Amino acid sequence: MVAKMKNCPSCGRIFVPMNATQRLCPDCMEKLREKEHEVVEYVRDHPKIKVNELIEATGAPESMIKRMIREGRFIQVGVRMTYPCEKCGAPITQGKLCIKCAEALKNELQSAAAKIVADRDAKRVPAKRDSQEHASAFRSERDRQGGSAVSKRYRGLH
Tell me the pLDDT tens digit for each residue of 34-87.
999 999 999 999 988 888 999 999 999 999 998 998 888 888 888 888 888 999
Residue 20's region, left for phi above 0, alpha for psi from -120 to 50, else beta, is alpha
User: Is residue 32 predicted with pLDDT exceeding 90?
Assistant: yes
3-state helix, strand, coil in the chain (%, to 5): 60, 5, 35
At 14 the three-state DSSP class reads: strand
What residues contact 49, with CB distance under 8 A and at least 6 apart? 42, 43, 57, 81
Q: How far apart are CA 88 and CA 98, in angstroms?
A: 8
Asked, for residue 89, whether it belongs to a domain, the answer is no
**67 closest CA partner among 100, 13, 18, 23:** 23
| Domain extent at residue 10 | 6-14+25-81
pLDDT of residue 2: 60
Same domain, 10 and 72: yes
Same domain, 76 and 32: yes
Q: How far apart are CA 53 and CA 67, in angstroms?
A: 16
User: Is residue 94 predicted with pLDDT exceeding 90?
Assistant: no
Same domain, 72 and 29: yes
Mean pLDDT of 111-137: 74
What residues contact 57, with CB distance under 8 A and at least 6 apart? 42, 46, 49
pLDDT of residue 133: 60
At 131 the three-state DSSP class reads: helix
User: Is residue 148 predicted with pLDDT exceeding 60?
Assistant: no
Task: State the pairing for strand pair 83-84/14-15.
Answer: unpaired
Mean pLDDT of 6-23: 93
What digits encode the pLDDT tens for the residues 97-118?
A: 999 999 999 999 999 999 999 9
- Report the domain count for the chain: 2
C-alpha gyration radius of the chain:
34
